[in-house]
């Protein structure tokens, strides 16, 4: 039997290319509750500070697309059951959203559901996940091993953190997760109880990450560590990739308690668009360049920072003739 050579399927390859080029590369202005259960503080800080533009391959974008379609399909299926009320939008037609830490920490739940047969009188936060068959089987095994109400925590800490956060900020005491394989062919559900102490800890964690002027410690100093090996931030965290040039990677910009960002050099509150744009006074937060060199000298007044490379040579980030702009440093790396 002749084996198919998928590399010769030019039209489908072109489709994948078009999907990747069309992807939304806009940055999230806040730290998401859907992320806060992530194991690494540094990853969350680097994400919140817009240090890297994430490029998702076509396969990943298709999975996201299937997830959105699966959520809508599952909502439709749940509403077919007599006695179930499922609300997925507020009175203004928007997703139900929650904010904390002055608005720097936000989340949007899939919905609120009442009337599920396991607990018909209790409102539950509803979330739907569309996952690959391997991860789906892992949830089934978690239910068998830990019981339904402890399955989510032992299956996926990120999803658990999201669930706990939504319950904590909505006031609901139960969470109802539906989980399907691609296309919605197989579905499992688990219920989880609120954990106010955990919710408080997650908000405190978010606050610590948001207001930290420096990236937190790596989860491991070994780039081959299993949590680092496949991380989106691996090259930035462990390698020589340089962060994007914008206000959030600049030493002069800081998040404020009221949810705004302040440029302390120009004493100006920055809009989201201004944060993305940056300005000529941009100077990297020095620790973002630690893989290229260590700080050797600096002038706050003249707005430059000099670095010593491991080989003994120097470079400086500034506006003088002998300095390099942040854009030049990024291109250099």
Return the structure tokens found at 59: 């396969």
CA 45/CA 26 separation, integer angstroms: 17
The predicted structure's pLDDT at residue 24 = 83
Q: Which domains does the chain have, with CATH numbers?
A: 24-210 (3.90.320.10), 243-332 (no CATH)
CA 134/CA 96 separation, integer angstroms: 30
The predicted structure's pLDDT at residue 289 = 97
Q: What is the mean pLDDT of each run of 10 residues along the chain (333 residues)?
A: 64 91 87 97 98 88 92 97 96 93 97 97 98 97 98 98 98 98 96 98 98 96 94 94 97 97 97 94 97 95 96 95 96 80
CA 54/CA 220 separation, integer angstroms: 22
Core vs surface per residue 139-157: b (16+ CB within 10 A) or e: beebbeeeeeebbbbbbbe
Backbone phi, psi, residue 130, to 5°:
-110, 115
The predicted structure's pLDDT at residue 3 = 60
pTM of the model: 0.92
């Amino acid at each position: 039997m002749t084996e198919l050579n998928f590399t010769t399927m030019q039209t489908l390859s072109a489709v994948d290319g078009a999907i990747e080029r069309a992807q939304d590369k806009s940055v999230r202005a806040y730290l998401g509750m859907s992320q806060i259960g992530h194991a690494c503080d540094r990853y969350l800080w680097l994400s919140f500070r817009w240090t890297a533009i994430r490029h998702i391959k076509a396969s990943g974008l298709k999975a996201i697309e299937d997830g959105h379609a699966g959520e809508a399909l599952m909502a439709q299926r749940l509403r077919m059951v007599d006695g179930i009320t499922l609300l997925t939008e507020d009175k203004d037609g928007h997703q139900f959203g929650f904010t904390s830490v002055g608005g720097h920490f936000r989340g949007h739940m899939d919905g609120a559901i009442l009337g599920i047969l396991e607990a018909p009188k209790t409102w539950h936060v509803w979330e739907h996940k569309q996952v690959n068959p391997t991860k789906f089987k892992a949830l089934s095994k978690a239910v068998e091993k830990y019981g339904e109400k402890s399955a989510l925590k032992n299956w996926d800490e990120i999803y658990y953190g999201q669930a706990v956060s939504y319950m904590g900020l909505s006031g609901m005491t139960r969470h109802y997760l539906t989980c399907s394989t691609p296309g919605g062919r197989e579905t499992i559900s688990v219920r989880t109880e609120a954990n106010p102490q955990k919710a408080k800890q997650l908000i405190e964690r978010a606050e610590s990450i948001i207001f930290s002027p420096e990236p937190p410690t790596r989860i491991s100093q070994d780039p081959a560590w299993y949590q680092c090996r496949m991380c989106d931030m691996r090259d930035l965290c462990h390698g020589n990739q340089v962060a994007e040039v914008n206000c959030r990677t600049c030493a002069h910009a800081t998040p404020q308690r009221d949810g705004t960002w302040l440029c302390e050099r120009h004493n100006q509150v920055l809009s989201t668009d201004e944060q993305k744009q940056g300005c000529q006074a941009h100077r990297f937060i020095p620790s973002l360049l630690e893989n290229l060199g260590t700080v050797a000298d600096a002038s706050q007044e003249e707005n430059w920072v000099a670095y010593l490379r491991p080989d003994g040579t120097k470079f400086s980030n500034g506006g003088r003739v002998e300095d390099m702009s942040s854009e030049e440093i990024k291109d250099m790396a």
